Chains A and B, each alone.
Chain A
Amino acid sequence: MKPAAFCPDLLEEACNEAQILAKPQGAWELYPYDAKTHIVDFFPPFHIKGEKIQHHLQDARQVAVLAVTIGAAIETSVHTYFKAGRYAYSLLLDAAGTAAVEAAADALNDVIDREARLRGYRTTWRFSPGYGDWDVRVQKKILRLAQAERIQLSATESYMLIPRKSITALIGFIPHPLSAPARVSHCAVCEQQNCLARKETEE
């Protein structure tokens, strides 16, 4: 059989609508970090637990804690379209929303990278709660560290971000002569063996 072509018009429509609906916002703060004790200098001190993230930050002297969101408009639209029977389109719009929030995080990441460079640091790639063995239950603390209330970002009791198309993460500042870990596939340090992203990127 020959299934339908990969709906380029639908894809473009979804990308356009995502751009129209996305309202990217970000917040970030920089804190001193002690890689020996894994403690971020905050009040109260924030202890980073998890081997992978501790390893990720082993040479970091400071950490940038960031939060980005593109708002709730895309999720609302996805829901409305699905209800109206536009299944494929709502799936693509949802995916475009995910891409948009990643792009927003990349943009904020660029700002942070620049700040780091000016101070003589290199940056690690961003590590989010739930990656590897970093417990997603730190989410609320991370939001406080990033002062994410400024962008109206919060978490549910089960640690999901609201609005859902949002990202929190941590970026380590590493003194320049030490080489930062190369940008590797996030999957390489992650233990979620059954994740879709892994399945798709490893194929």
Chain B
Amino acid sequence: MITIFDGAMGTMLQKAGLPPGDCPEAWNLQHRAAITKIHRTYIEHGAQIIETNTFGANRIKLSHYHRERQVDAINAAAVQAARAAAGPSIRIAGSVGPTGKFIAPLGDLGFDLACDVFEEQIRALDCAGVDMILIETIIDIQEMRAALRAAKKATAKPVICQMSFGDDGRTITGTDPQTAAVVLEAMGADIIGVNCSLGPAQLLPVVEQLAAAARCPISAQPNAGMPKLIGGETVFPMQAAEFGQWAPRLAAAGAAYIGGCCGTTPAHIAAAAQAVKGVAVRTRDVPMPILTLTSRTGSVAIPAGAAPVLIGERINPTGRKKLAADIKEGNFSSVKKEALAQIKAGAHILDVNMGVAGIDQTAAMQKAVEELSLLVAAPLSIDTSDARALEAALKAYPGRALINSVSAEPERLRDFLPLAKQYGAAILCLPLSEKGVPETAEERAELIQTIMDAAYAAGLRRQDFLLDGLVMTAATTSGAETLRALRLYRKRFGCPATMGLSNISYGLPGRPLINSTFLALSLASGLDAPILNPYDPAMRDTLAAAAAIMGHDKNGRRYSLQYGGAAAEPAPPANGDLLEQIRHTVVNGEKEAVAPLIRQALAEGRAPMELTDGALTAAMNEIGAAFSAGRCFLPQVLLAAETMREAFLTIKEVLPAQAGHTIGKVVLATVKGDIHDLGKNIVAALMENNGFQVIDLGKDVSADAIVEAVLSEQADIVGLCALMTTTMPQIDRTVALLKKSGCTAKTIVGGAVVTAEYAAQAGADRYAADGVNAVQIAKELL
């Protein structure tokens, strides 16, 4: 039968006289009888589980009322108040709400501190005699992980984990119901559910998704609709009768426990209880125990025998000096670049190894996991042999990670398996023991059995295992045994298999060929999650071909698209006039192609002036015109300018004496008080590549400094820019000061907020709307 929770506590407390702004939990101490009365009312209206008045009774929330030292007393009093109302058939759930802070790195609350805060409250509830713990209204999976970890540490009683989802179906930090279910079930949640934020109608799909993803029972405690503010009061509009009508639908969606959150009253609970009277808990198709890993925002399943799931191996500093040096310096940019590049190359899961000699691996691993979990949605595999580094990574990871790896060595089993259990991680089982490398497939399977037995004893489940075939170099050991091990695993255990492939070719020539051939053989033998370099073209080809052959790529459609010999891009005219080719190269922004053409032209005896006038300037004019007509955009103009620059640099390199020809001298500055300079830099670059000599004074330049530079440089043109209304008046000042100084240089002004009218009023000679326009005007002014 469906079990009924109670409804809102807050609303009832207010009705009982709790003044706004007072600490609701303090009433457990001050007005215990009133709390008991509320519980009793809910029980009389059909609640079978009542929730203690302890939603905010953690020391962070209580500190807002200077009651952070009363955690034990308040929680104990709340349980007593509930117990006083409950008969023998009524169970008491100890309510645990959020701290109101985000866990680092999203916020400033450390994971350990969060665990500690929750553990303190949950111990108090446990000691006072609750029947179960209800962690509720949590909006961030990392806070829920901290609370659940604390609960599992503090009590053996059942733990219900209820998160709040938005109307986009995700929590505020992006977790979807399926991912939440996978993460929380792996960490030992006994019931998973949803409460608050939304009304029953909006919660229905969330309940369905939880029920499809979790094997445990599901709970749902909606609000009484979406709140409205009436006469300064928050009012939940859904009446009890309507609320009750939703209860059977929530049950049909898979909820076994139904109650109410904000705005629900005893009447709502009575209506719900009445509506599901005699309704049995829906028999759900319990999901297969399939290994699933998650990040904060998504899941990746690795079913045995399905399309291969790729584990990218490139976040590993072994043998890579640059990456190792960056990690050592605490610079994780290259780690993050590898992550993005591997995902682009098709990796589904990223292996993270911080094995750099002489560093604090724990700190590096934690930092890498934090940074990567903010950046990518792909789940991580934590590749370390250091238990401390592993724990730091598992704490920091807001999802379900893979531990790479757990061998049959007693120390490893002792240290790693409890961590896997506590943090809900899956394990990569590596058939190695203290006795060394097992030769035969049977020996490997035996070691896998040893690891799995120990893991089951530590509380892990069948869906927590990924089995490694163990790859040795083919130069010394036949790969056939590894392939046999894969087949044996599939038959004996049915769990998905993995392995790092590239070891096979160690010490052999033509490694890509060996690697990709071994990949093909392994896929056919039951390899589900190869650990590989996803950039390797031979591996990618083999994966594409294997997908077509094995039917994961239906009828080879993707394969055909990729390898079907699409018409090659027409090559640019290789012959034809050289000047024409240079012009074409600049217009197209082909920076790498221009230098050889310039060299060739100069070698043929063409004069630099001929190249400049006949090709380069013509090209810039052409792209400038295209820009002005809206046929291309600024990045394309800048690519052309970069190509021009390359061309000029090449001319300078070949004929140093010819450099230095300019058509005019320009002083550029962003005016005082303004620190924007990208726009001004763009103007400078375009001017330079159109033959002007540019003296760039930079940003935040005073009128005096500008006048001094213009006079001393005897500039032909002054370009001034301002980006904000607050700094624009500096243009007026500068122009006036220039005039006063007797300087004859022409002034061009521009910048986001500057207009032609403003320029005229400031006394400037011209207004330029953009960089291309500025170049045209400068040419006109000369």
Contacts and interface: CB of A to CB of B under 8 A. Distances in A.
B567 to A, nearest CB: 17
Nearest to A203: B630
Contacts of B226: 117, 176
Interface size class of B (residues with CB under 8 A): 35 or more
Interface in B704-754: 724-727, 752-754
B38 to A, nearest CB: 21
B13 interface: no
Given A158-B674, A177-B228, A85 B727 contact: no
B337 interface: yes
B642 A86 contact: yes
Interface string B217-237: 000000000111110111100
A194 interface: yes
Interface size class of A (residues with CB under 8 A): 35 or more
B61 to A, nearest CB: 15
Given A88-B589, A158-B727, A4 B638 contact: no
A188 interface: no
A91 B627 CA distance: 16
B642 A85 contact: yes
Contacts of B754: 194
A120 B755 contact: no
A176 B172 contact: no
Interface string A10-27: 100000100111000000
Given A114-B172, A177-B228, A164 B752 contact: no
B336 A20 contact: yes
Contacts of B681: 82, 87
A194 B753 contact: yes
Interface string B640-681: 111001100000000000000000000000000111111001
Contacts of A184: none
Contacts of A176: 226-229
A4 B636 contact: yes
Nearest to A136: B726
B725 A130 contact: yes
Interface in A148-203: 156-160, 162, 164, 175-177, 192-196, 203
A31 to B, nearest CB: 16
B336 A114 contact: no
Contacts of B632: 3-4
Given A117-B227, A175-B228, A90 B678 contact: yes
A142 B759 CA distance: 31
Contacts of A120: 227-230, 233-235
A86 B727 CA distance: 28
A4 B333 contact: no
B674 A160 contact: yes
B541 to A, nearest CB: 22
Contact of A177 (B229, B589, B753): B229
B634 interface: yes
B631 interface: yes
A92 interface: yes
A98 B235 CA distance: 39
Contact of B337 (A20, A88, A160, A203): A20
Nearest to A159: B726
A160 B724 CA distance: 9
Given A3-B631, A20-B336, A82-B681, A194 B639 contact: no
Contacts of B139: 114
A7 B337 CA distance: 20
Contacts of B636: 3-4, 6-7, 88
B641 A194 contact: no
Contacts of A137: 726
A195 B752 contact: yes
A77 to B, nearest CB: 10
A176 B227 CA distance: 7
* Residue picked from B227, B589, B678, most chain A C-beta under 10 Å: B678
B16 interface: no
B635 A7 contact: yes
B166 A88 contact: no
24 contacts: A1-B622, A2-B587, A2-B588, A3-B587, A3-B631, A3-B632, A4-B588, A4-B632, A16-B340, A16-B341, A20-B337, A20-B340, A87-B638, A87-B685, A88-B589, A91-B635, A114-B139, A117-B226, A118-B262, A130-B724, A158-B726, A158-B727, A159-B724, A176-B228
> What are the 6 A-B residue pairs with the smallest beta carbon separation, nearest first?
A158-B673, A175-B229, A120-B234, A120-B229, A3-B632, A176-B228
Interface of B: 139, 166, 172, 196-197, 226-230, 232-235, 262, 333, 336-337, 340-341, 375, 587-590, 622-623, 626, 630-636, 638-642, 645-646, 673-678, 681-682, 685, 724-727, 752-755
Interface of A: 1-4, 6-7, 10, 16, 19-21, 61, 78-79, 82, 85-88, 90-92, 94, 110-111, 114, 117-121, 130, 136-137, 156-160, 162, 164, 175-177, 192-196, 203
